[in-house]
Amino acid sequence: MENQLVEVDQLKIRFPVRDGKRKSYITPVDHVSFTIRKGEVLALVGESGSGKSTIGRTLVRILDPTEGSISVEGQNINHIKGRELRKYRGKAQMIFQDPFGSLNPVRTVEKHVTFPLKKYRGCRGAELDKEIDSLFKRVGLTPVSEMRKKYPHELSGGQRQRLAIARTLAANPKFMVADEPTSMLDVSIRAGILELLNELKHDMNLSYLYITHDLASARYFGDRIMVMYGGKVMEIAESKTLIQKPLHPYTQLLLAATPGSSSELELSSLSNEAPDLSEGRQGCPFAHRCPLATNICKEEMPPLEGTAESEHFVACHHAGGDFKEAFNLIQ
């Protein structure tokens, strides 16, 4: 499989938490494996507490993995440091959710891209000037001459996110983590940003890990969708398949809850309990909310199973069960 760009194997991330005097651990990401091909968008969908942002931040090594391995272009990046880490970051970049928070308020627009251009492309003088110009044109920050000397607060939300994208492109990356890049933008602006990311994917053969809570945009932008709950992978499939033939009860619930799904499911008295993230938890994290759950679900985490040719993998003891009927029964 030489066209795999990112290979994540049995990734586990653990954080200490202090509960009064006792120190304990939570594992927001627990034995997660997936791959991203060159030029592919893997959409990672989940609610808060699913571990999706933690995975994103670990892939660009803002956070460190506890166990398992992450390799990018065959290089294991689990424990790289210093110069090697900085070199890796030229390959792997990240777009943040809050476009204003990810820009330095006292720096002008062009200052945000000059450092990475110098560092990763060795641009100097007139060449630097030209590169800034073409970079801003590429992301649609025009007219360029007017934009360059502005400060972030003078830009609109969409322009800020375009600048953040320009900064990541300056490093000449092969792989990008986009952590809910449109969720803080106005509706009319979102599509434009997604379109831009899509164009960049085609033009530069970029790969993305697109983190979102919105299945509709995941389906639009993602080639494949991975659904997570409580730190574990529930289901991975090609976007269209996942939306049309979801096998996992959680995916079905998520689909039914998404506005515009015209689902008949009545959820008004559904419990809103958050998943348990404590270390050493057992069974399927969704079991306590799942209408199909049986004893085995609470004791044993089902493995992620499927066939390689269908590329549809699901981790459920009761995959494909009639979720709606079961759900309406227990209500």
Residues of span 259-298 touching another protein by CB under 8 A = 259-262, 266-270, 272-274
Candidates 5, 169, 193, 304: give the one binding another protein (CB under 8 A).
Answer: 193
Q: Which of 128, 216, 301, 326 binds another protein (CB under 8 A)?
A: 216
Question: Which residue, 204 or 309, has its beta carbon nearer to another protein?
Answer: 204
Pick between residue 27 and residue 159 the one whose CB is nearest to another protein: 159
CA separation for the pair 147, 130 (Å, rounded): 14
Shorter beta-carbon distance to another protein: residue 76 or 244:
244
**Tally of CB atoms within 10 A around 308:** 7
Residues 159-188 that bind another protein (CB under 8 A): 159, 164, 167-168, 170-171, 186-188
Binding string, residues 225-244; x marks residues near another protein by CB under 8 A: ------------------x-
Query: Does the footprint of another protein cover residue 115 (CB under 8 A)?
Result: yes
Number of H helices, E strands in the chain: 12, 12
At closest approach, how far in Å is the CB of 35 from another protein?
22
Sheet holding 75-76, edge to edge: 22-37, 4-19, 67-72, 75-76
Q: CA–CA distance from 218 to each of 16, 81, 221, 258 (Å)?
A: 32, 33, 5, 12
- Identity at 45, one-letter amino acid code: V
Q: Which stretch binds another protein (CB under 8 A): 25-33, 34-42, 209-217, 322-330?
A: 209-217
Q: Which two tokens stand for residue 300?
A: 């044993």
Residue 136 engages another protein in binding (rule: CB under 8 A)? no
Is omega for the bond preceding 246 within 30 degrees of 0, making it cis? no
**Restricting to residues 33-52, which ones interact with another protein according to CB under 8 A?**
47-48
Quick check: 15 binds another protein (CB under 8 A)?
A: no
Under rule CB under 8 A, residue 135 binds another protein? no
Of 80, 189, 204, 301, the one binding another protein by CB under 8 A: 189
C-beta of 253 vs 314, nearer to another protein: 253
* Closer Cβ to another protein, 115 or 300, answer by number: 115
Choices 21-29, 34-42, 153-161, 311-319 (CB under 8 A): range interacting with another protein: 153-161
CA 81 to chain centroid, in Å, comes to 23
Q: Which listed residue (16, 20, 74, 105) binds another protein by CB under 8 A?
A: 105
By the rule CB under 8 A, 215 interacts with another protein: yes
Cα 39 to Cα 18, 36, 97: the distances in Å are 41, 8, 22
In the bound state with another protein, the residue whose beta carbon lies nearer, of 15 and 151, is 151
Q: Tell me 302's DSSP state.
A: P
| Binds another protein by CB under 8 A, chosen from 27, 58, 207, 217 | 217
- Binding of another protein by 120 (CB under 8 A): yes
Strand order in the sheet with 232-238: 92-95, 175-179, 207-212, 41-45, 224-229, 232-238, 312-314, 305-307
Q: At what angle do helices 125-139 and 111-121 cross, to 10 degrees?
A: 120
Distances, alpha carbon 111 to alpha carbons 42, 59, 103, 164, in Å: 31, 26, 10, 12
- Token code pair at residue 186: 């106005």
Interface with another protein, residue 84, by CB under 8 A: no
Structure tokens at 72: 């990018």
Q: Whose Cβ is closer to another protein: residue 272's or residue 307's?
A: 272
State which residue, 247 or 256, has the beta carbon closest to another protein. 256
